Amino acid sequence: MSTFDSLGISGSGLLVHRKWLDAVSDNIANINNVTSTDQDAFQERLIVAQAVDYGSGEGGVRVARAEYGSAEGRMVHEPDHPLADANGYVRYPDIDLGDQMTQLIMAQRGYQANLAVVERATTAYQAALQLGKG
């Protein structure tokens, strides 16, 4: 594995973690969306990552797919809400804020780790170029 491979692998990790951060931030932003009971609730988005050429040391990672949570959501009794049905219920997304914050921290740390590899590889390339100028 060359140093250039490390940039490609880390770059793919940056992309996956950015998409994970985007999904989590979207989930958090929509955690309090209210809909009427005859409509679907906001669906939590989950990112599934997959190794590319696992074990070869050359592949990296990619987003395999996005999965979505339940559209059923959770029913909350709020009779004064303008979207409440005849029984006084509205529908909220079934998203746990604590879980989303944990996901956010993990995605952020993964992003930071991949970025550190890119920065170190760039520093190594620059140092190698300076050797040739000597």
The predicted-structure confidence for 72-87, as pLDDT tens digits, reads as follows 999 999 999 999 999 9
- For the chain, the average pLDDT equals 91
Number of H helices and number of E strands within the chain? 2, 4
pLDDT value at residue 114:
93
pTM: predicted TM-score of the whole model, two decimal places? 0.85
133: Cβ contacts below 8 Å, ≥ 6 apart: none
pLDDT higher than 80, residue 54: no
